[in-house]
Structure 1
Amino acid sequence: MKIRPLFCVNGGTSIGFGHVSRTLSLINQYKRNNHVAFTLTLKSNVYSEKLKLKSDKLLQITSFNDPNGLQEAFNFISKNEINCIIVDLVESDFKQLSALRILLPDIFIVSITLFYFDEVIRFEDLSFFPSFNPIDFKVIRNDRKKLKVYSGKDYLVFSDKFKEYSSEDIVPTYDILITMGGTDPFGITVKAVKALQSSSYKVGIILSGKSEHFHQVQELIKGKSNFVLIEFSNDLPLLMRQSRVLLLNGGITRYEACLAKRPFIAISIHDLQYSITENLTNLGVGVNLGVHSNLETEAISQSVHELISMPNLYNEMVENMSNILDDFGSERIYHIIKREFNEKNN
């Protein structure tokens, strides 16, 4: 039986582009293997057009918690003979989709998550937990069936654009690229800009125009030609490759930096993010500076200066990045889903 997948995903200014980016890479993987691909997302998803371009059919509903929307999804699944659902959502949206398991008890459901979901809400057959270090999960679903979980760096999924730029010799446009993700609710971008405000470095700043800190950043860099504020980019891999050093907070961006071979300085949101980043920086690929609430701007400016002014250290970090990660995550996930799906349906 050939898999006919439905990808359930959402994205926007508050949760960012990461879920959609992973889904687009997986859709491409299914397309390369001659599958049709369907997508379910919300009407509020600002990246819907990108998904529409890649999908054979796209269904948009108002809410994953709306009974009418779920009925639409059920009809869509039945009409298109969909036999596999691949979910990449934040936990609150994931919970709301549990109704599909009740409506479709035999359908094969897969999740891709970076969250430690509560066991009592688990309803999928298979889960991927992309993380730098494998985690030993023993998860029991809400119906008491054991959930198979694959974790570790082999299942990190990156934009296909990293492949396009991997062999290109790109001359850096920026000395530093500040990218704190989405709307940056903690205002780390402001602190980073203040730290570099008096420098002569060429600085790119990625920050959504919907961020509550956007206008403050605009004022901070007013009249400074060496600062460029980038309100939106659909090509972060290129921006990374065009920059010498990345100033980031964490998440998938840490691993993307390694794939782009660009040393980074990480400013964490909280202690857990700091400890996860430490596992990576211990391999000599970047600087784990600390939790943002404990950092002074001087520490940021000093760290940036040291990394840029020490070419031997910088080049050593680039070399260390070469063998840490690869971009075959979507291919591995595809083959595991195929195998597990066939085992269940044969």
Structure 2
Amino acid sequence: MFVFCIESSHSRGMGHLYRSLTLAEELGRRGRDIHFLINDHESTLNVLKSRGFEFTIYDLKAPGGSWERAFVETVRPLEVWVDDRLDTTLAHAEAVVSAGARLVTFDDRGDGAELADINISALVFDEIDRLKGREVKSGIEYMILNPEIERYRRARKSVSSILVTLGGADTHGVTVRVANWLQSKPVAVTVVTGPAFQHREDLHAVLSKPDVASIQHLTGVPSMAQEMNRHDLAITGGGLTPFEAAASGLPSIVIANEFFEIPVGRALEELGFSRFAGHHRSVDFDTLSLDLPIEIMSQTALRRTNLNGSHRIADILEALLR
């Protein structure tokens, strides 16, 4: 069995959930049994139920080493434990390894990463040499992106429609500020908010103004890949979303929701298919421009990204069992 241990909430965001789901579905197609360990967060639990995955709720405040072995005893045989929680503790990692599981972590800078068989760090772009783990996999080729995007890859040439998507939670309500900035722009805008978004009243106050007719608000979409296909530019946070946009040929403006997303935003700009606007606290919307070389950015995105990450990582995880 493969166990995915993740945190997903309004404060943490839901990116860890969706990344893990993509990998879990790939492993499921290969006949592997999957179980999720997750904190008690209604929106997250609803997503897991809709995808048909079994899960166990655990207490995020419980100290590492106090609960892992008891869980392992209930799910044997446990083969691989995947942590997508960023900074895992040494006590937690010791408990997992001592229970006989192979440990895999994602973007992990915690002390527990040193016990990981593999630390997959595609979203780490600074101080890579300081990452811990028996083996570290870094580089955008290890990005886990939605395979559905393959159906919608296309080049863009100009901007007639903008997609605003700042995560399933958008903890800091950056969507509201972006919508306020775009309300006077002569371009169609679609704002997509996720299941954990808690700034609806503030957003409604912006969108209900009489002169704001060009902004559409969608509270979740059946397929983000399909939604991205409708647009020519995305405004996103600094997680997986701008990479998924790039894989579809969609350039982006990236606003870092958290400080650890700043190196990601800078790397995206260096890759040539995004413009980094800075951390959300310091973004100057008065100077932020939509005048971008969209055609060049789109072609660069298509050339530099692929959708093989989930297959590549699933191969690596299965190899741990040989």
Query: Is TM (by shorter chain) over 0.5?
Result: yes
Structure 1: which amino acid aligns with 2:140?
K
Cα distance between partner residues in 2 of 1:187 and 1:262: 23
Larger mean CA deviation between 244-253 and 261-270 belongs to: 261-270
User: Map of 1:235-274 to 2, 5 A cutoff?
Assistant: 235-269=223-257, 273-274=261-262
Cα distance between partner residues in 2 of 1:101 and 1:132: 24
Structure 2: which amino acid aligns with 1:152?
G
Structure 2: which amino acid aligns with 1:202?
A
Task: Look up the SS of the partner of 1:323 in the other structure.
Answer: helix
How far 1:258 moved relative to its partner? Answer: 0.6
Per the alignment, do residues 103 and 50 of structure 1 end up closer, same or farther by CA in structure 2, a change over 3 Å counting? same
Cα distance between partner residues in 1 of 2:10 and 2:218: 14
For residue 138 of structure 2, what is the aligned residue in structure 1? 151
Is the contact made by 2:5 and 2:83 (CA closer than 8 Å) also made in structure 1? Answer: yes
How far 1:254 moved relative to its partner? Answer: 2.0
How far 1:138 moved relative to its partner? Answer: 5.3
Cα distance between partner residues in 2 of 1:182 and 1:58: 20
Cα distance between partner residues in 2 of 1:209 and 1:136: 33
For residue 107 of structure 1, what is the aligned residue in structure 2? 101
For residue 24 of structure 1, what is the aligned residue in structure 2? 21
For residue 316 of structure 2, what is the aligned residue in structure 1? 336
User: Map of 1:137-216 to 2, 5 A cutoff?
Assistant: 137=129, 147-166=134-153, 175-208=161-194, 211=197, 213-216=199-202
Is the contact made by 1:37 and 1:55 (CA closer than 8 Å) also made in structure 2? Answer: no
How far 1:319 moved relative to its partner? Answer: 1.1
Q: TM-score, normalised by structure 1?
A: 0.78
How far 1:64 moved relative to its partner? Answer: 6.6
Cα distance between partner residues in 2 of 1:210 and 1:330: 25
Is the contact made by 2:273 and 2:300 (CA closer than 8 Å) also made in structure 1? Answer: yes
Is the contact made by 1:207 and 1:232 (CA closer than 8 Å) also made in structure 2? Answer: yes
Report Cα offsets for 1:3-41 as digits up to 9, x if no partner. x32222232333233212122221222223222223222
For residue 129 of structure 1, what is the aligned residue in structure 2? 121
Instruction: Give RMSD over aligned pairs.
Output: 3.3
For residue 55 of structure 2, what is the aligned residue in structure 1? 58
The alignment status of 1:116 with 2:103, answered yes or no, reads no
For residue 297 of structure 1, what is the aligned residue in structure 2? 285
Per the alignment, do residues 290 and 84 of structure 1 end up closer, same or farther by CA in structure 2, a change over 3 Å counting? closer
The alignment status of 1:320 with 2:317, answered yes or no, reads no
Cα distance between partner residues in 1 of 2:47 and 2:173: 28
Q: Which runs of 5+ in 1 are unaligned?
A: 141-145, 308-312
Structure 2: which amino acid aligns with 1:89?
R
Cα distance between partner residues in 2 of 1:33 and 1:42: 27
Task: Look up the SS of the partner of 1:77 in the other structure.
Answer: coil
Indicate the percent of aligned positions where both proteins have the same amino acid.
18
Is the contact made by 1:165 and 1:238 (CA closer than 8 Å) also made in structure 2? Answer: yes
Larger mean CA deviation between 253-262 and 196-205 belongs to: 196-205
Task: Look up the SS of the partner of 2:268 in the other structure.
Answer: helix
Cα distance between partner residues in 1 of 2:189 and 2:235: 10
For residue 34 of structure 2, what is the aligned residue in structure 1? 37
Task: Look up the SS of the partner of 1:185 in the other structure.
Answer: coil
For residue 48 of structure 1, what is the aligned residue in structure 2? 45
Larger mean CA deviation between 249-258 and 231-240 belongs to: 231-240
Per the alignment, do residues 44 and 190 of structure 1 end up closer, same or farther by CA in structure 2, a change over 3 Å counting? closer
How far 1:54 moved relative to its partner? Answer: 5.0
Cα distance between partner residues in 1 of 2:118 and 2:16: 18
Aligned pair count reads: 318
Cα distance between partner residues in 2 of 1:229 and 1:137: 42
Is the contact made by 1:179 and 1:248 (CA closer than 8 Å) also made in structure 2? Answer: yes
Cα distance between partner residues in 2 of 1:62 and 1:234: 30
For residue 204 of structure 2, what is the aligned residue in structure 1? 218
Whichever structure has more helix as a proportion of its residues is 1
Structure 2: which amino acid aligns with 1:177?
L
Task: Look up the SS of the partner of 1:109 in the other structure.
Answer: strand
Is the contact made by 1:186 and 1:269 (CA closer than 8 Å) also made in structure 2? Answer: yes
Cα distance between partner residues in 2 of 1:293 and 1:49: 31
For residue 10 of structure 2, what is the aligned residue in structure 1? 13
How far 1:246 moved relative to its partner? Answer: 0.7
